[in-house]
Chain A
Amino acid sequence: MYIVSVCGMGFGTSLMLLMDIQSIAKDFGYEVDGEATDLGSAKGKKCDFMVASSEIAAELSDQDVPIISINNLLDKEELKQKVLPLIESIAKEESK
């Protein structure tokens, strides 16, 4: 599966988000590919879902993939609760 993480510049918090998600996924035995990008270039990217901080996520609402909005970027528990179910269901889809 391929995910896109988004922030204002595309290499600060988005990269951290991506790495955190990859490590959460790895803990549960999933392999997640993805890229960190800025708001401008995120739109229209092909991926399974996008993830961003809440204020950036609001700008992505017109995308046709699920958008995960994270309120506290430093809270790994929030990230896990929001991202893991989606990763699990996508992994199930893929293995069909």
Chain B
Amino acid sequence: MIDFLVSILSNPAIILGIIAAVGLIALRKSTSDIIKGTLKTLFGFLILQQGSNIIVNSLVPFSTMFTEAFGLTGIVAEDNSLVAAVQTVLGKETALILIFSFLINIVIARFTKYKYIFLTGHMMFSFAGTMAIVFNQMGVSSFWTVVIGSVIQGISMVIFPAISQPFVRKITGNDNVAFGFWGSSWISLSGWIGGKLGNKEKSSESMKVPKSIDFLKDMSILMGLIMIIVYVVTAIFVDPKVMAEISGGENPFQFAIFQALGFVVGILILLQGVRMFLGEIVPAFKGIGEKIVPGAKPALDVPIFFSFAPIAVTLGFLSALVGGLIVTFISSLLPVVVLPSVIGLFFMGGAAGVFGNATGGRRGAIISGFVLGFSWSLLVALAYPLVDVTQYGVQGLWFASPDAILVVIIIRLIGMLFGIHI
């Protein structure tokens, strides 16, 4: 009987299904809604795992190519893919931290003056996975991983929105919503620097940005182009004999291009899965949170700020890309090569542009985006030795969210006090 229960609860898809079902029941949804919501959560999670398999399959040959070519490890900073890839090992812990941290968030919001309810579902998922990985590496048992991880995440879900709230007020002009995204501190900091060096009088929104770069808004296209460049350039530097071995005789460029496209396809499938289960879980969480916490401020995902200064988003992203590329080029000085991680650079760089524009106009937006791209990629490179994800069979991926990385650094420092070394 116990074995049976443990086997059920070790399956993260089932835990998430239960969370969705309980949430929907608590909201008194109809039976058909409950069945639909629960099944879609299960489907979503299984789709996510399949997407993660595809990503891993196209990253493994890439990692081999990259190491052959440059004698260095190359990584892409992408949380969702990384956390999805470790779900077979740490899925139960991730799902449990996800739910308990949300409950702790509600309790803190209910009883303190910090009324933030963190509602960005994929960020909650990736942070929970991050906590599971970090504590697992430090040799903490499953039980304590869930306990400590949930408490840390629950507190983070309130503290980080609180830190960025002064900036959010400046941009939105009100105090009704908060910033629920694990790059908020870094974006606020970049925005602050942009403000110091910029000129508030000249807003980015009076500029004209060519229509021809509009296609960059479609993430799959942007990522496809950059990954093709990254894979093909790497393939050029691999010894042709070794390359023939890796590609199994296929034309090396064809092989590189289709591996790159396969990577993007994996991300698209993974995101489809994330979309499916979040579409069920987030509304349930939101309903419960708002019922229990009067005056709750929802902490929301980063693109809510994009509409305040769309041109600043483009400026911020482009300058963040430049900043990120500089880190890629100086990486022989660093522990690891951080490849341009498009998703992070777009969303965080874009937001840094908006924040920088609010404090320092168009120059502020450009500086802020650049600072974000450069300092973020540098943070990822420098923090890389702190957590080894290759022992879970994951190659070529590492954590992306700066707020989460800051928390990881603090955890590892405290761990050292207790004699747990890296």
Chain A positions near chain B (C-beta within 8 angstroms): 7-13, 15-16, 19, 35-41, 53-56, 58-59, 70-74
Query: Do residues B313 and A11 form an inter-chain contact, with CB atoms below 8 A?
Result: no
Query: Do residues A16 and B304 form an inter-chain contact, with CB atoms below 8 A?
Result: yes
Query: Do residues B304 and A59 form an inter-chain contact, with CB atoms below 8 A?
Result: no
Query: Do residues B271 and A15 form an inter-chain contact, with CB atoms below 8 A?
Result: no
Tell yes or no: B176 within 8 A of A by CB. Answer: yes
Query: Do residues A40 and B218 form an inter-chain contact, with CB atoms below 8 A?
Result: yes
Q: B7 CB to closest chain A CB, in angstroms?
A: 30
Q: A58 CB to closest chain B CB, in angstroms?
A: 7
Query: Do residues A13 and B219 form an inter-chain contact, with CB atoms below 8 A?
Result: no
Q: Which residue of B lies closest to A34 (CB)?
A: B279
Query: Do residues A36 and B275 form an inter-chain contact, with CB atoms below 8 A?
Result: yes
Complex-state Cα separation, A2 to B8, whole angstroms: 35
Complex-state Cα separation, A58 to B120, whole angstroms: 25
Q: Which residues of B contact A35 (CB under 8 A)?
A: 279
Query: Do residues B274 and A11 form an inter-chain contact, with CB atoms below 8 A?
Result: yes
Tell yes or no: B286 within 8 A of A by CB. Answer: yes
Give 1 or 0 for each of B201-235: 1 = CB within 8 Å of chain A CB: 00000000000001001111100000000000000
Complex-state Cα separation, A42 to B210, whole angstroms: 24
Query: Do residues B218 and A59 form an inter-chain contact, with CB atoms below 8 A?
Result: yes
Complex-state Cα separation, A16 to B219, whole angstroms: 19
Chain B positions near chain A (C-beta within 8 angstroms): 119-122, 172, 174, 176-177, 214, 217-221, 268, 271-272, 274-275, 278-279, 282-283, 286, 298, 300-304, 306-308, 310, 313, 346-347
Query: Do residues B219 and A11 form an inter-chain contact, with CB atoms below 8 A?
Result: no
Query: Do residues A70 and B219 form an inter-chain contact, with CB atoms below 8 A?
Result: no
**Which of B172, B268, B271, B286 touches A11 (beta carbons < 8 Å)?**
B271
Q: Are A19 and B283 also in contact (CB < 8 A) when A11-B122, A13-B301 are?
A: yes
Q: Which residues of A contact B221 (CB under 8 A)?
A: 40
Q: Are A13 and B271 also in contact (CB < 8 A) when A40-B218, A74-B177 are?
A: no
Q: Are A11 and B121 also in contact (CB < 8 A) when A38-B275, A56-B217, A59-B218 are?
A: yes
Q: Which residues of B contact A55 (CB under 8 A)?
A: 217, 306-307, 310, 313
Q: A92 CB to closest chain B CB, in angstroms?
A: 25
Complex-state Cα separation, A12 to B283, whole angstroms: 12
Q: Are A71 and B219 also in contact (CB < 8 A) when A10-B275, A11-B271 are?
A: no
Query: Do residues B176 and A74 form an inter-chain contact, with CB atoms below 8 A?
Result: yes
Q: Which residues of B contact A74 (CB under 8 A)?
A: 172, 174, 176-177, 304
Q: Which residues of A contact B278 (CB under 8 A)?
A: 11, 15
Q: Which residues of A contact B303 (CB under 8 A)?
A: 7-9, 12-13, 53, 73
Q: Which residues of B contact A9 (CB under 8 A)?
A: 122, 219, 271, 303
Q: Are A36 and B176 also in contact (CB < 8 A) when A53-B303, A56-B217 are?
A: no
**Which of A11, A39, A53, A71 touches B218 (beta carbons < 8 Å)?**
A39
Q: Are A70 and B271 also in contact (CB < 8 A) when A11-B122, A36-B279, A56-B217 are?
A: no
**Which of A12, A36, A40, A58 touches B268 (beta carbons < 8 Å)?**
A40
Query: Do residues B279 and A13 form an inter-chain contact, with CB atoms below 8 A?
Result: no
Complex-state Cα separation, A17 to B7, whole angstroms: 38
Q: Which residues of B contact A7 (CB under 8 A)?
A: 303
Q: Which residue of A lies closest to B283 (CB)?
A: A19
Complex-state Cα separation, A41 to B271, whole angstroms: 11
A-B contact pairs, 19 of them (CB 8 A): A8-B346, A8-B347, A9-B122, A9-B303, A11-B274, A13-B303, A15-B121, A15-B279, A16-B119, A16-B301, A35-B279, A39-B219, A40-B219, A41-B272, A53-B303, A59-B217, A59-B218, A74-B172, A74-B304
Q: Which residues of A contact B268 (CB under 8 A)?
A: 40
Q: Which residue of B lies closest to A54 (CB)?
A: B307
Q: Are A58 and B279 also in contact (CB < 8 A) when A11-B274, A38-B271, A73-B304 are?
A: no
- 4 smallest CB-CB distances across A and B, nearest first, come from A12-B301, A55-B310, A13-B303, A11-B275
A9-B303, A12-B300 known, 13 other contacts, Cβ within 8 Å:
A11-B122, A11-B271, A11-B274, A11-B278, A12-B304, A35-B279, A53-B303, A54-B310, A56-B217, A70-B307, A71-B307, A72-B307, A73-B303
Q: Which residues of A contact B275 (CB under 8 A)?
A: 10-11, 36-38
Q: Which residues of B contact A15 (CB under 8 A)?
A: 121, 278-279, 282-283
Q: A81 CB to closest chain B CB, in angstroms?
A: 16
Complex-state Cα separation, A66 to B120, whole angstroms: 28
Q: A1 CB to closest chain B CB, in angstroms?
A: 17
Complex-state Cα separation, A56 to B217, whole angstroms: 8
Q: Which residues of B contact A56 (CB under 8 A)?
A: 217
